[in-house]
Structure 1
């Protein structure tokens, strides 16, 4: 009889202990709550390139809500609590000095049409404040970036027109050199250096962020990687550069298979939960999710406003000898390049 009593007392104590701790959220629950309050801003998604490759940008050929041959669809974006997405107008390197500008324009076009087709889910924006506004209204803020500096065909005029179309970043290179910046293949030794980093034309100063790419070869130096290894990269950047200088630029749909546990855009809460387990503070998580990006974006907007006060846009021209190709014409170009005054 005493044994039964003690057993019942033990069970009661365990139940009371369990009840006291059931209100403690799991790492996953904490991650989701943080992501509902602070927009996760992904700086790089190649879904537009998948649209070009698979359906030649014919949006009527698929249902983007459920299209399941890619890392990205609307259902997955919602499940992953993505708050803002830079959609990338990717220009392949074999278009350099040929029809790169046309490729970029067509990809900008498909991004805009995609956003317009799903106004209940997407909201096109070009500003930091626009990201916050879209997020608070329950939309996925959608921004445009161009991947590959060769996409402007060495023309500041083309770059200015891209800005007018809503483009808000241009990667300096992809996997090919431009006359003003060297690509990563120079570091790998597979391409000869052109300007040994950046030319004077290619340089700008900032206190920006490193937005981590999820491509398995970048994460683990082989064909497979894990969510934990992605977290290792985030840890490393935070340790070396500080929590103010880390962000996310996944490159989803720019590679075949994502890291194990981080296979597509629906898995973001699992990554944030992993960082919480590694004792990242809520404040550092918020910086990673989007506060760092918003800080840098607002600074870029400030510089833009200052530059736009200058009445005369830059007429800097790359030396035509550095870009001479049989597919190019140089109508109106001087025999020698202009330089900054």
Structure 2
């Protein structure tokens, strides 16, 4: 990481900056007072020592910022839906987001395989338009957000903050001008995998210029699914924290999108963020398997570099008891049982996502004072 981040590290923890100033903030009824949410602790939830009761109480103060949702693509195939009332045909709706204490959600703009060029750009714009339409149609539950401050504002108003991204690299059609246009429309995360300039051998000269331009405008680089060479090079040149929106520990489960231990260590050194997906394929079939990955990533990268990625509505199978967006209290209860501290859990669920959003904005402000918009062309750099 660049020295630009030193000023951020000298400030208070993001989890503390965003903590609501209320009395008894760790009591279960805070959720009802602040966001109108009901705490359902289950049949044994009358004991303050019950891990599920404690999980609900902690999540009332430190809700989940979920790093990946496939909802936009899923909604394209529904003739009608009402996310306020609830939808049984999908994994995510407002009631289940409230039940799971989800206060922020990144909505993926990923594409079906094979879309390239103008078709990829057009499909991304259509999804972006769909997201805005859906959010506007559900004003009591959802609110668009483009910054950490707007995420906090939405949460304080009892709304779920919706952030745009990640988008697929194909959406750029190898144009930095299109990247800037998408950012102006609200894009916050770009996935590098799948691009000709981010292949098995790593980033090309144009690929490196893409990373620099994302830094300059405040778009986070997503390295999930990228080759190990691309991941390592991006970690080296990015001045802003990188994120892996759907990556767990390869040492525990050898999935190609999961990260090897040495990369997890480097991610911690550079203050990036590994968002562990709640999918059976990448983490395993049970809550305990997911918790094992979270333990592993925290041990290697540090508590400031691990987060959560529901990966709901993406077509993936999910672990038992984590089948939809309402399941986060069960996962947090498992982590409490393993001895995770309140401060580490606050970073996992909320603080770490806020940190990288703030850090990306800080880096962009500094970079824009030194660097003009790039006019680089792939044909000139990689031709």
**TM bucket, shorter chain:** 0.7 to 0.9
Match of 1:282 in 2: 342
Q: CA deviation at 1:196?
A: 4.6
Partners of 1:180 and 1:244 lie apart in 2 by: 30
Match of 1:115 among 108, 126, 135: 135
User: What SS is found at the alignment partner of 1:216?
Assistant: coil
**8 Å Cα contact 2:48/2:54 also seen in 1:** no
Match of 1:208 in 2: 272
Match of 1:63 among 82, 87, 90: 82
User: What SS is found at the alignment partner of 2:374?
Assistant: coil
Say if 2:324 is the partner of 1:264: yes
Match of 1:234 among 270, 294, 300: 294
Is there any run of 5+ residues in structure 1 with no aligned partner, and where?
A: 1-21, 185-192, 320-335
CA distance 1:338–1:235, shift in 2 (3 Å)? closer
Say if 2:156 is the partner of 1:136: yes
Match of 1:197 among 222, 230, 253: 230
User: What SS is found at the alignment partner of 2:334?
Assistant: helix
Match of 2:75 among 42, 45, 51: 51
User: What SS is found at the alignment partner of 2:283?
Assistant: helix
TM-score, normalisation: structure 2: 0.69
**8 Å Cα contact 2:124/2:171 also seen in 1:** yes
Say if 2:197 is the partner of 1:180: yes
Match of 2:366 among 299, 306, 316: 306
Match of 2:356 in 1: 296
Match of 2:97 in 1: 77
Is there any run of 5+ residues in structure 2 with no aligned partner, and where?
A: 1-45, 202-225, 242-270
Q: CA deviation at 1:255?
A: 2.3
Q: RMSD across aligned C-alpha pairs, in angstroms?
A: 2.5
Q: CA deviation at 1:170?
A: 0.9
Q: CA deviation at 1:98?
A: 4.7
Q: CA deviation at 1:93?
A: 3.0
Match of 2:183 in 1: 163
**When the two structures are aligned, how many residues end up with a matched partner?**
282
Partners of 1:311 and 1:283 lie apart in 2 by: 37
Partners of 2:233 and 2:118 lie apart in 1 by: 24
User: What SS is found at the alignment partner of 1:95?
Assistant: coil
Decide which structure has the larger Cα Rg and report it. 1
User: What SS is found at the alignment partner of 2:150?
Assistant: helix
Partners of 1:201 and 1:273 lie apart in 2 by: 35
Partners of 1:293 and 1:245 lie apart in 2 by: 9
Partners of 1:47 and 1:297 lie apart in 2 by: 21
User: What SS is found at the alignment partner of 1:215?
Assistant: coil
**8 Å Cα contact 2:200/2:229 also seen in 1:** no
Say if 2:125 is the partner of 1:105: yes
Partners of 1:27 and 1:179 lie apart in 2 by: 47
Partners of 1:144 and 1:200 lie apart in 2 by: 25
CA distance 1:281–1:51, shift in 2 (3 Å)? same
CA distances 1:10-64 after superposition (whole Å, capped 9, x unpaired): xxxxxxxxxxxx7634211111111111131001000111012x23xx6xx1222
User: What SS is found at the alignment partner of 2:378?
Assistant: coil
Q: CA deviation at 1:73?
A: 1.3
CA distances 1:242-290 after superposition (whole Å, capped 9, x unpaired): 1111001221111243111111001111111110011000000000011
User: What SS is found at the alignment partner of 1:36?
Assistant: helix
**8 Å Cα contact 1:215/1:255 also seen in 2:** no
**8 Å Cα contact 1:316/1:338 also seen in 2:** no
**8 Å Cα contact 1:87/1:144 also seen in 2:** yes
Partners of 2:160 and 2:297 lie apart in 1 by: 27
Match of 2:54 in 1: 30
Partners of 2:88 and 2:363 lie apart in 1 by: 40
